[in-house]
Amino acid sequence: MTTATQASTITRSSDGLYEKIGSRQTDKAESSQDRFLKLLVKQLQSQDPMNPMDNAQTTSQMAQINTVTGIEKLNKSMNDLLGSYSANQTFQAASMIGHGVLAEGGMMAFAEGHGSAAVLLDKPMANVKVKVFDAGGRLVDQEPLGAAKAGRLSIDWDGKLPDGSTAAAGNYRIEAVGITDDGTEIALKSLNYSKVTSISVTPEGSRLHLANGSEVSLNSIVQLN
């Protein structure tokens, strides 16, 4: 069973799903044991009394069927665990709808003369520069933010463009670089503030759709407001 098939079955099924799946897998394991025992009994009945089956051989066969049974039970437990984890992740993601989040990504929503984002610095930088691009990929602004310590650096953009005009409301993309003391430029990881508008469930896990037009995973969430 693939993860995608399992997820869709969980969505449509009742609370008795795991019992049904577990019953089918348990029946399969018990059927394998039953066939093995019948074959073993038949083998013992048909053996030569003057040359009986070696005890070591019997023990080896018993160990093999126990190993197969153990693997089937382990697979059932893992499937149950994955199904439970997927359901819990979906509920967790759904509870974020309507909340603001800080997540990994370079999108920034600009509205009412204000745009917020952030960058992560692994170490202190002599200078940090941020470039702002519009929806068409055109560079509309770039600003030096000066020296910064390691950690999270917030960015507040007023939308003022080099020609003196103000940027139109909408979604923009940012790129940030840090400049070390020796002049080396290092690309910095961008973070974006936005509100969760909806979620979607995929085979890879739940995805959050943000008001700024981006889509992120639960693992990329840094802060929940």
Q: What are the phi and psi torsion angles at 125 (to 5°)?
A: -125, 145
Q: Which of 34-48, 76-90, 180-194, 196-210 has the lowest mean pLDDT?
A: 76-90
How many domains does the chain contain in total?
Answer: 2
Please give the pLDDT value at position 130: 93
What is the pTM assigned to this prediction?
0.54
Banded model confidence at residue 219, pLDDT cuts 50, 70, 90? confident
Domain boundary among 94, 124, 147: 94
- The mean of the pLDDT values for the chain is 75
For residues 12 and 85, membership in a common domain is answered with yes
Containing domain of residue 46, as a range? 3-94
Give just the sign of the alpha carbon dihedral 163, 166, 169, 175. Answer: positive
For residues 87 and 129, membership in a common domain is answered with no
Residue 141 has pLDDT above 90, yes or no: yes
Residue 72 has pLDDT above 60, yes or no: yes
